[in-house]
Structure 1
Amino acid sequence: MKNIDFGIDLGTTNSGIGRYENGKVQVLKNPVGLGEILPSVVSFYRGRTLVGNKAREQYLTNAGNVFGAFKRKMGTAENYAVTSAEGVTQLSPVDLSAYILKELKNYVPGTSIEAAVITIPASFDTIQSNATKQAGYQAGFKEVVLLQEPIAACLAYANLSNLNIEDEQKWLVYDFGGGTFDVALVYINKRELRVLDNRGNNFLGGVDIDHAFLAGTVVPKLSTITGDSDMWNKLVSKDGAYEKLWYYLGYKAEEAKKELSVSQTTWMEIDFPELEILTDIELSRDAINSAVKPKYKESEKFVIELLAENNLTFKDIERVILVGGTTYIPFIKDALRGLGVKVDDSIDPTTAVITGAAYFAGAHQQSEGVDDNPAAHVVNKIDVKLSYETYSNDLEELIAFKATDGFAGHYRITRADGGFDTGLLQFNQTANEFVTLLPKAKNNFKLSIYNNGQQPVFETTAITISHGLYGVAGQLLPEDICIELDSKEDNTYLEVIFKRNNILPLSKTLYKTFSRSIIKNSTDKLIINVVEGKSGTLPGSNLSIGYIAIEGSDLQGDLIQGTDVEIQLDIDESRGLKVDVYIPSTGQQISQSFHISAKEVNLEKMLLDIAAAENTLDAEIAESSKSEAYELSAMFQRIKEELQLLKQKIHETKNDKVTEERYRLDDTKRKLLSELDSLTRSRDVFMATSLYKKEKERYLAQEKYATAVQKAALKKIFDGEKELLQSGDKHLIKRATQELESLNDKIFLQNDEAFISLFWQLNSLPEFYYADISNLAELSEAGQKAIEKRDYLNLKHIVTVMFNKVDDVYKVRRNSDNEHFQHMQKNPTFKTGLS
């Protein structure tokens, strides 16, 4: 196997490709025009498809068939209509991105590129990531590995700069691109580079500055000149000729923005005969700054939040590395310097991500079967485990290996350039060898193993050690990955599977039980719903990335409540999800891989999410009105009304199989449920935490009665207490509280004197609390005598009899502080069948 070697920055406004070779990266140039940067624009003109600069120029004459910034729509079902003599063709963001990638492949003449590393914003969700991979496969790649853009930028900076790092440092990568913004917190020392955390916005970029510039300066000036006071409304409605004018002005605004980055003033020439507009507009840097400032402030907020959540200040940051074309704007550089931190713009912000992607590709092996020629290799007859560092700053590095148990023979290690050769050496099962490295280069080695008859039994050429170059210790998972489960309150909650900022790839096995019985061939369903978002929030406000509905007709036998199910979840480095379900009681195995490249929306599930939210809202409105919190009640009422309107639209959309309306409705639902969650979650977490602390106090008061086994179980709960209470997940805290409560009850009943307290509680109840009052007086008298004699065995029997006589209505543990959260279920609720 060989390394991938090719890295691609698939950007919102510009794209590019680089190649890693012999320890260095070359940003490749377009064979036509020799430019390194390819505008991410596609146009269709007279039966031809144009990509890049030629396509971008079409904004001036053929705006209706020119498409750019489609990266911002990756992962959605939105299509772009291409009009031609044959009619109208619908193209997706994936289709258009594939055109860009195909064009970049042409930058490498005479070479068939089988695999590539393609970068994505750190804030891309799983569906957007999968859509990017799909574009790569559609462009003809057999393998696509995704890399987060801040990691690529770090690799570029670390490997291009002459760093002399002895102590640990923390950097910020400030990546303000054409369509997206990312900021990453990076740890680096003399050997390792690691991303610790990141934040971002997929709809904050240079395009947004262009639009703000048009709205705030260009269009008002043009309206004054033309006398058309309604010009902005006509432009944003994109009606007729104004749609062409919108793209025309966008092109002009972007050019003016670039000029104002180096000059204080510029002139925008507007020649648009279709609306008889011919004029010049003078523009100043102050005008562009007025558009930049609010967008910069949005980015600064992400930077400050990132530092705060990691308990850092700007004093802890060694430098801020600028990436992305928008960072050329002087206002942004000056504003960042004003934060009191070193701003480093020493690398080219437009090619940094390309370069970093190629460095990553140079150390990333292609998968088996991709560009693999079996005839060129020895058929391996033994298993060998290898160990070595892929990156090193030393001129010698250790390669260690272990062969199949009991194997004895010979080995030979050679460097591809012929500068190192061990010769044939004897070994027994294990061996290690220090190999010499070429400085500042990628060193490729071949290990050959022979049996004692000098016959080859193993060979690999996949040993690559890069000298003096930084690698990266994995990519971060940008959001929690959770599974939806049934709760005891007759609704569902999220249990975290993989936590945000874990290093990809990830794997975990869950053991759950069926919360209800599902009969074979019934219409009931077992639902496995894996979501991406934030644990502790409402399930419906998160993004579903893996949804399996197992119908009764799919079952090989009945699923009985309380029996077990095993769920294996795997997420690869590029965020592909695989779910394996094993049902031991029936022996049934279900496997499904998810590479969803556009949102899949289940309208029935949406309606159930809304029904559950309406139950919560009814209770919240009643409680807030009762406590005269009228402003809060009005907020809940508004959300309820919007959900009711949304429900009506969902019913109207049930038969719509053509438009993208269901995706817009799903986004609206998630937004409204997120608002509801924000209004209630802090309070609910506070209540759950209070109940937990009460149970802890109860334990401490009776700790002396606990057994060693019970103390060990409680210690396990208390050891994770800090993380538990900081999780903000009320369901997680409730489960710990229930476990603590159960242990407390057992400890309480181990204390003989506890039954004295229980007896007096039961004895003091009014008669109407009892369903059966026969011989109650005799039991009372007998209990008092048992207490006098310390006859605990008899007392336990009396207490049990008295408790059994209490009406079931009064046996339920009451808690006035929590009573308002026990919602009456007036609407149908969604149940997964798992707990």
Structure 2
Amino acid sequence: MNWEEYKKQIEEQKDLPEEWYILGIDLGTTNSVISYWDNNNKKPEPIDISNGFGKIPLPSVAQYRGEEGDEEEWVIGEEAYRSMKIYPETTIRSIKRKMGTNEKIQIEDKEYLPEEISAMILKELISHCKNMNPNAEIAGCVVSVPYDFDDGAKKATMRACELAGLKDKLICLIEEPKAAALAYNFRHQLSKDEKIMVFDFGGGTLDITLFHVVEKDDCRIKLQVISEGGEARHGGDNIDEVLLKQCYLYIENKTGQNKDAMTPENQAELIMRARETKERLSGVKSFRIPFTFCIPPFVEQITREQFENLIHDFIEKTRKLVLKALREAYTGALLPSDIDRVLLEGGSSTMPWIKDMLIGIFNEENKIYTSERPALDISLGATYYAAMKMGVLTHPDLEAEKVEVEFEVTVPHDIGLEVDHGTRKSFFTMIRRGTPYSLAKKSHIFTLSGKTLEDMTTLELRILERIDKEDTIENCKLIGDVGIKGLPKRPSGKTKLQVTLAVEEEGGLVKGAVEDLGFGEEYPPSGFKQPFDPSRFNKTVLEGEE
């Protein structure tokens, strides 16, 4: 059964069977989390992936082990991370940053796409659900993605879900800060007209989302997204890289040995030391970094102040991204004083400099709320959303949840077409960022003109996504190329084509259609009307009958 069939049976039975699981998955850059809907307590619960030892996040690390003569094996999670220095060349980290690219990962004599590695992590997460209940059936699941994921990265995520066996069970994708806001909403009382910023700082990305509580009473709450910002490739991993460079500098100053002279095993150990240093300095004001493999071995002390000086440029860029999200709100520019609460989410948000920076912007410490479980909230929020979609949150028999939640999600980026003016190219906006998904369908009529028969019977469309509204055409992300052939043979200027683009709420993917409208009574429509599903890596060709 697919998730919609499970939903129908839940509605008919007026209950969620014990063996049926509704899941929310945070497929993270550094760590991943899976949660399920606990129908007894009417709330989501994270799944312990350590078989009872209290370790919930799964390191998003995949490791290939295939020693000569041994059986091939893939190890996923904590064991893979801890043994990275033993298998440095076959350990894959932060694969999420490559999602949506065609970049292949070479392991031994095989090549893997990013979504194939992500599928392994998903399978490992799902296996822990099965461990919890061998009779478990997945009824439906929601998987989170960063705000900054473009169409290609979202499609790659959906492909990873398909490879992991979740094709019919995937309800939709949800952007991470929206999931965090949902998790917060069910734990705390929000007030009407409050404006809330979710600052979601993970291992790979920074997502900033602003919400407005449009309506709130005893029966209903409506949340509306009013701004989205942040940046992909701006996360805890970037800080690790700064510390890693500093570690290499410490070694070179002490021993004269540079990076090129180090073994892959020693380099892998330094990667782990850099991350450990970042994490330790979140709790203590100084940390002694051991360099045990060096000759001679030594220890170098680094203080939190020195650490924050090292990442000064990163901190400053983060501050500017927060101000930009305020400035570019869909409802008009906002001031820091307009924000009522700032919620810190994501595993990297516990670093002290983050709270200090935000207090400097908002001038009020009481506005800054640190989540009780920042590394888990994305998964918990995704589970809430899955439960809403499956109908169990608003079911009348569920006494614990009497409040109907309306969540108006919006398109995060401008969607449009490339227009060639001959000497230059420009971006033509079809769907603007901030448009609610329910309204994210726009059509535009183009008139074909040209000098040759080919000009009048063919059309090339290049569909683009503008992540930042200030991006030039060169910096827009390609969604896909669409080639149209076999249009009716008419004179120049006598063919009108209607191009329609839409963004689906379930996953945020872009779909489209092209229709020949003819040209008045002189040239009636030919009947050419075809939908298309653009792909970044394969050109879509639509053919008429000429």
Work out which of the residue numbers 176, 189, 214 in structure 2 matches 1:149: 176
Q: Which residue of 2 aligns with 1:587?
A: 527
- What is aligned with 1:266? 287
Larger relative strand fraction: 2
Q: Compared with structure 1, are the counterparts of its residues 168 and 576 closer, same or farther at alpha carbon in structure 2 (3 Å cutoff)?
A: same
Counterpart in 2 of 1:500? 433
- The alpha-carbon deviation at position 226 of structure 1 amounts to 1.4
Q: Which residue of 2 aligns with 1:308?
A: 327
Match of 2:251 in 1: 222
Q: Which residue of 1 aligns with 2:453?
A: 519
| 1:492–1:351 CA distance, 2 compared to 1 (3 A) | same
Structure 1 equivalent of residue 298 of structure 2: 279
Match of 1:159 among 166, 186, 191: 186
Distance 1:541 1:223 in 2: 38
Secondary structure in 2 aligned to 1:129?
Answer: helix
Aligned with 1:479 (options 401, 413, 420): 413
Distance 2:499 2:390 in 1: 30
Partner of 1:124: 149
Counterpart of 1:562 (choices 483, 494, 497) is 494
- Post-superposition Cα deviations, 1:465-497, rounded to whole Å, max 9, x if no partner, equal xx24745222x212111123455x775543321
Instruction: Please give the secondary structure, in 1, of the residue aligned with 2:148.
Output: coil
Contact 2:459 2:483 in 1 (8 A): yes
| Aligned CA distance change for structure 1 residues 297 and 89 (closer, same or farther; 3 Å) | same
Is the 8 Å Cα contact of residues 447 and 494 (structure 2) preserved in structure 1?
yes
Deviations along 1:358-413, whole A, 9 cap, x unmatched? Answer: 001111149xxxxxxxxxxxxxxxxxxxxxxx977xxxxxxxxxxxxxxxxxxxxx
C-alpha separation between the residues in 2 aligned to 1:284 and 1:31? 33
Deviation readout 1:485-535 (Å, 9 max, x if unpaired): 455x77554332111111225223332211226637x99741122211177
- The count of aligned residue pairs is 488
1:100 to 121, 125, 141: 121
Letter in structure 1 aligned against 2:181: C
Secondary structure, aligned partner of 2:446: strand
In structure 1, the residue matched to 2:307 is 288
Deviation at 1:291, TM superposition (A): 3.3
The higher radius of gyration belongs to 1
Match of residue 575 from structure 1? 508
Q: TM-score, normalised by structure 1?
A: 0.55
Query: Where does residue 449 of structure 1 map in the other structure?
Result: none
Distance 1:94 1:193 in 2: 32
The change in CA–CA distance for 1:227 and 1:529 in structure 2 (over 3 A counts) is closer
Match in the other structure for 1:550: 484
**1:748-789: per-residue Cα shift (whole Å, max 9, x none)?**
xxxxxxxxxxxxxxxxxxxxxxxxxxxxxxxxxxxxxxxxxx
Q: Flag the 1:358–1:517 CA change in 2: closer, same or farther, 3 A.
A: farther
Instruction: Classify the secondary structure of the residue corresponding to 1:107.
Output: helix
Q: 1:490 to 1:336 in 2, by over 3 A?
A: closer
Q: Which amino acid is the alignment partner of residue 268 of structure 2? A: Y
- CA 1:544/1:291 → structure 2, altered by over 3 Å: closer, same or farther? same
**Pairing of 1:687-702 with structure 2 (within 5 A):** none
- SS of structure 2 residue aligned to 1:71: helix
TM-score, structure 2 as length reference: 0.82
Distance 1:278 1:542, change over 3 A: same
Higher RCO, Cα 8 Å, sep 6+: 2
Which residue is equivalent to 2:16? none
Amino acid at match of 1:157: Y
1:180 is matched with: 205
Alignment of 1:542-691 (within 5 A): 542-551=476-485, 554-555=486-487, 557=489, 560-573=492-505, 574-583=507-516, 584=518, 585-594=525-534, 596=535
* AA at the equivalent of 2:498: E
- Paired residues of 1:292 and 1:331 also in contact (CA < 8 A): no
Counterpart of 1:792 in structure 2 is none
Structure 1 residues 172 and 180: alpha-carbon distance in aligned structure 2, compared to 1, 3 A threshold:
same
Determine the structure 2 residue equivalent to 1:455: none
C-alpha displacement of 1:21 = 3.4
What are the residue-to-residue correspondences of 1:307-456 with 2, within 5 Å? Answer: 307-310=326-329, 311-339=333-361, 340-341=363-364, 342-365=367-390, 438-441=398-401
Counterpart of 1:80 in structure 2 is 105
State the alpha-carbon separation in 2 of the partners of residues 174 and 127 from structure 1.
Answer: 24
For residues 128 and 295 of structure 2, the distance between their equivalents in structure 1, rounded to whole angstroms, comes to: 41
Q: Work out whether 1:7 is the aligned partner of 2:24.
A: yes
Partner of 1:769: none
Structure 1 spans left out of the alignment, 5+ residues: 367-389, 393-414, 416-435, 442-466, 603-835
Q: Aligned Cα RMSD in Å?
A: 2.8
**How far apart are 1:566 and its partner, in Å?**
2.3
The gaps in structure 2 that reach 5 residues or longer are 8-20, 67-71, 519-524, 541-546
Q: Is the 8 A contact 2:25 2:34 kept in 1?
A: yes
- Secondary structure of 1:192 counterpart: strand
CA contact (8 A) 2:480 2:538 kept: no
Contact 1:75 1:599 in 2 (8 A): no
Superposed CA deviations along residues 193-217 of structure 1, whole A, max 9, x for unmatched, are 222111111111111111111223x
Distance 1:538 1:282 in 2: 45
Provide the residue aligned with 1:379 in structure 2: none
Contact kept? 1:518, 1:525, Cα under 8 Å: no
Shift of 1:557: 4.5
